[in-house]
Amino acid sequence: MAFSIVVKLSLLSLLIAFPFVTNSYSAYQLGLYLLYGIVGQGIALCWGKGGFLPLGQALFFGIGAYISGLMLQNDVGWGLVIVTLFLAIVIPFLLAGVVGVLVFNRQIGSGPYFSLITLALALVGFQLANSQVWLTGGFNGLTGINGLPNIDSFGSLYFVIVGALVLTTIILSKIMGSPFGLLLEAVRENEERLQFLGNNTSWIKAAAFAVSGGIAGLAGAFFAPHQGIVTPQVLGFILSAELVIWTAVGGRFGLLGPVIGAVLIGFLASGLRDAFVYWEVIVAFVFILVVLRLPGGIGGIGVHLSRKIGLNFHSYGEISERSRSVPEVDKIITRELKFEEVTITRGSVVILDKLSFKIEGLGIQCLIGPNGAGKTSALNALTGKLEVDSGEISWCGRSLNNVRPFQTLSLGIGRKFQVPSIFPNLTIRQNIDLSLWVNRLKRNQLLSMVPYTWKSDLLEKLEEVFPFISDKSLIAGSLSVGERQMLDFTMTVLSEPSLVLLDEPCAGLSKAETETMIKAIADLSKSSKSMFIIVEHDMQVVELLSDNVLVMHQGKLIAQGSLAEIRSNKDVQRVYAGGTK
């Protein structure tokens, strides 16, 4: 952390010294690319952190530029300038937010669609800027734009721009290090898992996109006084494409990378571009190389080298002490899960066939049955992953028929999938933080560092059972399969849901690990006030854990009772032995 500040301060000193070391005209030119670097930082937030790529970011930059240009065509005082800056930030912010909400709605992985929509929007913006001559001056643009009051566009404006860069770097740093930043990164890592930790991932992405829009607008607001003229190129496709290239090559995973990219490739190369006709072809090649082989770009190389010499970058969140107890979560009193004649058909296949059962109270219910019986489908139906055609699923009196996955946790339902689903490139600590925050992280704490300091009794207990989860800085992806299962289990139960759904929790575990897991589930079932439903094939597990067993076959429930009762049930025996005798 300290090292990162040292790097940033050194670069800042270089920037401040630049006009004195060279001349004010070079500084003037550099200033333009610093503005582009600011826009790139917003792209890095979306793409590097969030995993979605805006291809038309110049739209927001241009909107900011036009707003500022229109205002500064007149003689204005600082009061109006502040208002202009405000509008130049807020209008793109809101526009990006609305687009984000519309496009990300409901769907996981709408990445390509998002990218193309932003591209189309930039083209529309470009067309509008050309055609709405009354507003934008059309093809010739807005001219006669004054500088900021008492600030020489060719002189001191450079320092204002550096100041803006410092500001955006600080703000984005804070955002990236905050719980919101971690949530954004988790969206990129495993969006579905994050939904099953209670997060509306569409809103997270839209919010990040909105921030990037606002940042681009701010940069655009300084563009107008800097250049004195605003033409439609400022919101066009070509600039949008270059911004992405600079961000990619400079490094999309940090905040310095985009600036480095804009400066190195944009600024220093502007001379090369005129002299050497193939320069842009080379840049395109470099971009492809970065995208395929070197995703971190120049910034990534820098981080890699500093790791080699022993310097590590840890976020504040990773190293803060756990000192405060988690806030209390409301618990549901009655526990009752009911399936009433639930039918699901897909094409000609009947997945669930008037499935009906009722489970009440605490304890462990095991759901067994041959392949294709519909066990996982039943779980999918009750957690919003599979739409119900007819019938009613209710939990504690609330209908689950049209629930969306991220809502299940607010209803007290936690789910663990059969294949361990964690956030592989995040540390164990980060994985656990995300789970602790379920139902506890309030909106006003999204940017606060307090949630990183939470601890819970349950977490301490689980650390005793699974000691490896105390190793905070280990990357989750480096865990063995068995350890991943145990981490996934920990994450599911940390939020203390009232209904815990476990799909083959011992799959892939060694004998020893299976014993540990069984003991952990049994202990947890006694001490927590939760109902457990476990889908299992392993009869040893069922024998050791179940208070009650439900047997499904071909989408129906064929038996319910204790394990002994199930074993002596003729229908069940027939289904398991298979075929005629």
Closer to other proteins by Cβ: residue 112 or 144: 112
Selected from 3, 25, 113, 139, the binder of other proteins by CB under 8 A is 113
| Smallest distance, other proteins to C-beta of residue 182, A | 21
> Please, which of residues 414-453 interact with other proteins by CB under 8 A?
419-420
Locate tokens 């990378």: which residue? 257
Q: Which stretch binds other proteins (CB under 8 A): 153-161, 323-331, 332-340, 535-543?
A: 535-543
Closer to other proteins by Cβ: residue 131 or 143: 131
Closer to other proteins by Cβ: residue 16 or 124: 124
Contact call for residue 239 and other proteins (CB under 8 A) = no
Q: Which stretch binds other proteins (CB under 8 A): 9-17, 102-110, 170-178, 432-440?
A: 102-110
| Smallest distance, other proteins to C-beta of residue 129, A | 10
SS3 assignment, position 221 = helix
Q: Which stretch binds other proteins (CB under 8 A): 134-142, 193-201, 323-331, 534-542?
A: 534-542
What is the rounded distance in angstroms from the CA atom of residue 524 to the CA atom of residue 527? 5
Closer to other proteins by Cβ: residue 16 or 135: 135
Q: What is the contact mask toward other proteins in residues 500 to 529, using x (rule: CB under 8 A)?
A: ----x--xx---------------------
Closer to other proteins by Cβ: residue 444 or 580: 580
Question: Residue 437 to residues 183, 193, 451, 513, 524: CA-CA distances in angstroms?
Answer: 10, 14, 7, 27, 20
> Please, which of residues 539-568 interact with other proteins by CB under 8 A?
539, 566-567
Residues 6+ apart with CB under 8 A from 458: 493, 494, 496, 528
Question: Residue 148 to residues 24, 164, 276, 580: CA-CA distances in angstroms?
Answer: 17, 14, 36, 89
Closer to other proteins by Cβ: residue 43 or 161: 43
Instruction: Please answer whether residues 361 and 332 qualify as being in contact, where contact means their C-beta atoms are separated by less than 8 angstroms.
Output: no
Run of H or E including 521:
helix 511-527
DSSP string, 258-310: HHHHIIIIIIHHHHHHHH-TTHHHHHHHHHHHHHHH-TTHHHHHHHHHHHHTT
Closer to other proteins by Cβ: residue 245 or 531: 245
Sheet strands side by side (includes 548-553):
413-416, 499-503, 531-535, 363-368, 548-553, 556-561
Run of H or E including 165:
helix 157-177
Number of residues that bind other proteins (CB under 8 A): 64
| Smallest distance, other proteins to C-beta of residue 46, A | 13
Q: What is the contact mask toward other proteins in residues 21 to 60, using x (rule: CB under 8 A)?
A: ------------------------------x-x-x-----
Q: Which stretch binds other proteins (CB under 8 A): 76-84, 108-116, 459-467, 520-528?
A: 108-116
Q: How far is CA 482 from the centre of its chain?
A: 26
Closer to other proteins by Cβ: residue 114 or 158: 114
Contact call for residue 237 and other proteins (CB under 8 A) = yes
Closer to other proteins by Cβ: residue 353 or 433: 353
Please list, residue by residue across 468-478, b when 16 or more beta carbons sit within 10 angstroms of its beta carbon and e when fewer do. ebeeeeeebee
Closer to other proteins by Cβ: residue 9 or 272: 272
Question: Residue 368 to residues 546, 552, 571: CA-CA distances in angstroms?
Answer: 11, 6, 14
Instruction: Please answer whether residues 552 and 520 qualify as being in contact, where contact means their C-beta atoms are separated by less than 8 angstroms.
Output: no
What is the rounded distance in angstroms from the CA atom of residue 494 to the CA atom of residue 414? 10
Q: Which stretch binds other proteins (CB under 8 A): 119-127, 215-223, 354-362, 393-401?
A: 119-127
What is the rounded distance in angstroms from the CA atom of residue 350 to the CA atom of residue 433? 40
| Smallest distance, other proteins to C-beta of residue 119, A | 7
Question: Residue 189 to residues 160, 229, 253, 267: CA-CA distances in angstroms?
Answer: 37, 42, 14, 34
| Smallest distance, other proteins to C-beta of residue 259, A | 21
Structure tokens at 379: 């779980």
Selected from 347, 443, 464, 564, the binder of other proteins by CB under 8 A is 347
Structure tokens at 175: 């955002």
Contact call for residue 131 and other proteins (CB under 8 A) = yes
Q: What is the contact mask toward other proteins in residues 280 to 319, using x (rule: CB under 8 A)?
A: xx-xxx-xx--xx---------------------------
Residue 534 half-sphere exposure, CB side, CA atoms within 13 Å?
30
Closer to other proteins by Cβ: residue 480 or 562: 480
Q: Which stretch binds other proteins (CB under 8 A): 80-88, 177-185, 226-234, 276-284?
A: 276-284
Of 266, 257, 272, 233, the C-alpha closest to 122 is 233
Contact call for residue 481 and other proteins (CB under 8 A) = yes
Closer to other proteins by Cβ: residue 149 or 370: 370
Contact call for residue 106 and other proteins (CB under 8 A) = yes
| Smallest distance, other proteins to C-beta of residue 481, A | 5
- Residue 366 is which amino acid? C
Binding site for other proteins (CB under 8 A): 51, 53, 55, 102-103, 105-107, 109-113, 115-117, 119-121, 123-124, 127-128, 131, 237, 241, 245, 277-278, 280-281, 283-285, 287-288, 291-292, 347-349, 370-372, 419-420, 480-481, 504, 507-508, 537-539, 566-567, 572-573, 576-581
